[in-house]
Amino acid sequence: MSNENDDLRRIRALSATLHQHNFRYYILDDPQVSDAEYDRLLKELEELESRYPKAVAKDSPTRKVGVTWTPEDFVADKLPSVEHRVPMLSLENAMGTDEVRDWVERVRKGLELTEGDPDPPLTVEYKFDGVAISLLYEDGVLVRAATRGDGVTGEEVTGTARTIRSVPPQLKDKTPPPRIELRGEVVLQNADFEALNASRSQDEGLFANPRNAAAGTLRQLDPRIAAKRPLDVFIYGIGDQEGIDLSVQKDLIDHIERWGFQPCPFLREASGADELIAIYEEVMEVRDDLPFDIDGLVIKVQGAGLREQLGMRARSPRWAVALKFPARQETTKLLDIQVQVGRTGALTPVAHLEPVNVGGVTVSRAGLHNPKEIARKDLRIGDDVVIQRAGDVIPQVVKPVDSLRDGSQKPYEFPTSCPECNGAVHYPEEEIIPYCDNFQCPAQIRGRLEHFASRRALDIDGLGEKLIDQLVTEGLVTVPSDLYSLSVDQVAGLDRMAVKSAENLLAALEVSKGRPFSRVLHALGIRHVGERVAELIVDDTLEIDTLMAADEERLAQIEGLGEIIARSIVAFFEIPAVQNEIKVLRDAGLTFHQEKAETSGTEGAFSGLTVVITGTMPTLSRDDAKQKIIASGGKVVGSVSSKTDLLLAGEKAGSKLKKATDLGIEVIDEEELLKRVGD
């Protein structure tokens, strides 16, 4: 015979389960049980309720019998308030390593430890940059979810929480605790955040960061909106509980993982400030590579006894602290947008900002990508804007703070002519980047020369931005070939130059004539032809005449090239000035062809072997790899055939790798190459 307590518990569990199933059916369109199973559960609940009429809840799933539920039944007109039985506290912040040392000292004092005593056991976890959530499970069933609110009163978000894939509707536990409230952080992963922002219209506005997007989503009244946005939850603690001690973080994590929550991505044990600081520095390094945002670390003293002994401050426990990372977002004023002209004529807008300190670095300029981005973000001159600095990347303007607009902000119009030369601006098909079409644009001239002389192109020692600027201003140089007819006198006459430095420059120019064809091709600055594409072209097409005569179709067949690159190459060589330039560079003695197979004739690890190179190597450029093989007696050719002995393959190796494997040719990687040549 069943006893009344068991029956009442069963009523609660059945109601919760049926609510869950209704929700999955009407909101998520993804039922988890068959209709027949659903009917069985409903029938069981009806029978139980008929025996205990007092136990029938106002919102019991049985109250809708005979009438179908609709999605609107799950949409609240306002989020109901929820009282937290155990307040949701916040954390004291430590803004860096000195403050964390202070905290450790305070903890030691609080525990009445003296000099010889060891430090108390601590754990370190990520401080997730999202929104706090409380998840209440009764008899293992999720019955209520709530936001933190002011810590005492929050808002009920059960509907939204049920849409979250990492919130199990039922704890995987045969004997779940009768009541347990889990606390964690709701986050939106960065990739999902980017996708969400990309899908938003101008009217909807952009979310500044994943945290805002998660908060905005969690508090939606209609759970169908949240169902479309893949929120995630990381559990980090407990609130209200009966009969279970989870004051050791490792125990908590073990439990929550067993119950069906996603694993904790980071948990370390530590003791003492030095260990904490080492972990802090380690995590700072990987922070930008994580798929979600964290804004610091949370350090917690382990064990109920120690926690009790330390006690609470007004709103935060003394047994925990948030060790914060430097902020990455700030707001400042958008003073102006200026357009930069690159060597290919690409026009890139740059934001000029009121200088602001972001995590220790003063930012006064930020990238804006292209005119479409400016329009999409609806940026206006004079706006307050959110800017962001992450890792090494150039700071970005994230979005305007629309609510601070006072009418004085001016919409921005992208110039219709080049700001450097007034030339026409044109948008090539399929590209959202505008270009200045004037090949003689001074900004392009300078840019092309800088690129030509740069380290990865012809590596002309001593020819930097300042000297190029002078050479162009003095009218001595407009195209790279002009460099090769400079005289010592001309150069020595420039500012801050002397005979010696002029001679050095001319000697460096002489050296550049010996650089291989692929470097020359890269140095020419053809749009879309970088170092690697240049090498691919040279491997396939060994000299300049064949290349200049090739049509788009022929070029697009080269491994690693596509239509866009092919079109760009053809367009480049069609320019009469380019044709002339190549003739002059050739006459000056630069290298415009490549031997079919290069070999040094020396004996070595690769003697007598014909090698093909494909893909990107982790550290070596293809040219470096090739030189190493040649220096060890090998021969490097462009395409794989039955005569090939070895394939050196890097990342993104394509058809050559497949062909080599099909032909049973030995494939080696960079590490093996370096081993064989004895580097």
Residues 6+ apart with CB under 8 A from 403: none
Q: Which residues, 197 to 256, sit near ligand IVH by CB under 6 A?
A: 236-237
565 binds ligand IVH (CB under 6 A): no
**Closer Cβ to ligand IVH, 132 or 334, answer by number:** 132
Number of residues that bind ligand IVH (CB under 6 A): 16
457 binds ligand IVH (CB under 6 A): no
**Closer Cβ to ligand IVH, 31 or 121, answer by number:** 121
**Smallest separation, CB 185 to ligand IVH (Å):** 5
**Closer Cβ to ligand IVH, 159 or 296, answer by number:** 296
**Closer Cβ to ligand IVH, 329 or 490, answer by number:** 329
**Closer Cβ to ligand IVH, 297 or 463, answer by number:** 297
Out of 146, 206, 320, 341, which residue is the one contacting ligand IVH (CB under 6 A)? 320
**Closer Cβ to ligand IVH, 82 or 565, answer by number:** 82
Out of 27, 45, 89, 526, which residue is the one contacting ligand IVH (CB under 6 A)? 89
**Smallest separation, CB 188 to ligand IVH (Å):** 14
**Closer Cβ to ligand IVH, 132 or 145, answer by number:** 132
- 323, 279 Cβ separation under 8 angstroms: no
90 binds ligand IVH (CB under 6 A): yes
**Smallest separation, CB 379 to ligand IVH (Å):** 31
**Smallest separation, CB 267 to ligand IVH (Å):** 9
**Smallest separation, CB 210 to ligand IVH (Å):** 13
When CB distances to ligand IVH are compared, the closest residue is 132
292 binds ligand IVH (CB under 6 A): no
582 binds ligand IVH (CB under 6 A): no
**Closer Cβ to ligand IVH, 251 or 510, answer by number:** 251
Out of 49, 119, 139, 185, which residue is the one contacting ligand IVH (CB under 6 A)? 185
**638 SS3 class:** coil
Provide φ and ψ at 92, rounded to 5°: -75, 140
Which run of H or E residues covers position 143? strand 141-147
**Closer Cβ to ligand IVH, 87 or 260, answer by number:** 87
**Smallest separation, CB 423 to ligand IVH (Å):** 53
Out of 322, 441, 565, 629, which residue is the one contacting ligand IVH (CB under 6 A)? 322
**Closer Cβ to ligand IVH, 125 or 138, answer by number:** 125
Question: Maximum distance among all alpha carbons in the chain?
Answer: 111
**Smallest separation, CB 312 to ligand IVH (Å):** 9
Find the DSSP H helices in 31-144. 35-51, 97-110
Which of 344, 591, 592, 584 shows the shortest CA–CA distance to 481? Answer: 584
Rounded to whole angstroms, how far apart are CA atoms 261 and 173? 12
**Smallest separation, CB 532 to ligand IVH (Å):** 42
Q: Rounded to the nearest 10 degrees, how much is the dihedral formed by the CA atoms of 621, 622, 627, 628?
A: 80
115, amino acid identity: E
**Smallest separation, CB 318 to ligand IVH (Å):** 10
Residue span 129-158 as binding mask against ligand IVH, x where in contact by CB under 6 A, dash where not: ---x---------------x----------
Provide φ and ψ at 372, rounded to 5°: -60, -40
**Smallest separation, CB 319 to ligand IVH (Å):** 8
* Binding piece for ligand IVH, criterion CB under 6 A, among 30-38, 120-128, 416-424, 550-558: 120-128
**557 SS3 class:** coil
- 193, 209 Cβ separation under 8 angstroms: yes
**Smallest separation, CB 302 to ligand IVH (Å):** 13
Rounded to whole angstroms, how far apart are CA atoms 347 and 66? 65
Residue span 248-287 as binding mask against ligand IVH, x where in contact by CB under 6 A, dash where not: ----------------------------------------
Rounded to whole angstroms, how far apart are CA atoms 634 and 607? 5
Out of 100, 298, 387, 398, which residue is the one contacting ligand IVH (CB under 6 A)? 298
Rounded to whole angstroms, how far apart are CA atoms 165 and 214? 14
- As given in the structure block, the two tokens for residue 574 are 């069609």
> Exactly one of 54, 109, 127, 410 is catalytic; which is it?
127
Give the distance, in angstroms, between the CA of residue 12 and the centroid of all CA atoms in the same chain.
Answer: 44
Out of 317, 415, 419, 462, which residue is the one contacting ligand IVH (CB under 6 A)? 317
504 binds ligand IVH (CB under 6 A): no
- 553, 569 Cβ separation under 8 angstroms: no
**418 SS3 class:** coil
* Binding piece for ligand IVH, criterion CB under 6 A, among 28-36, 89-97, 569-577, 597-605: 89-97
- 325, 287 Cβ separation under 8 angstroms: yes
- 539, 639 Cβ separation under 8 angstroms: yes
Query: Which residues in 396-496 belong to E strands, given as ranges?
Result: 396-400, 410-411, 425-426, 435-436
What's the start-to-end Cα distance of the chain, in Å?
A: 81
Which of 169, 527, 145, 97 shows the shortest CA–CA distance to 324? Answer: 97
Which of 116, 156, 108 shows the shortest CA–CA distance to 133? Answer: 156
Which of 167, 176, 169, 164 shows the shortest CA–CA distance to 17? Answer: 169
Alpha-carbon distances, residue 24 vs 19, 133, 232, 237 (angstroms): 9, 21, 17, 27
Q: Which residues, 24 to 83, sit near ligand IVH by CB under 6 A?
A: none
- As given in the structure block, the two tokens for residue 174 are 């045969």
- As given in the structure block, the two tokens for residue 484 are 């090769």
**Closer Cβ to ligand IVH, 315 or 426, answer by number:** 315
372 given a catalytic annotation: no
Rounded to whole angstroms, how far apart are CA atoms 108 and 310? 9
128 binds ligand IVH (CB under 6 A): yes
Catalytic residue IDs: 127
Positions in the binding site for ligand IVH (CB under 6 A)? 89-91, 125-128, 132, 148, 185, 236-237, 298, 317, 320, 322
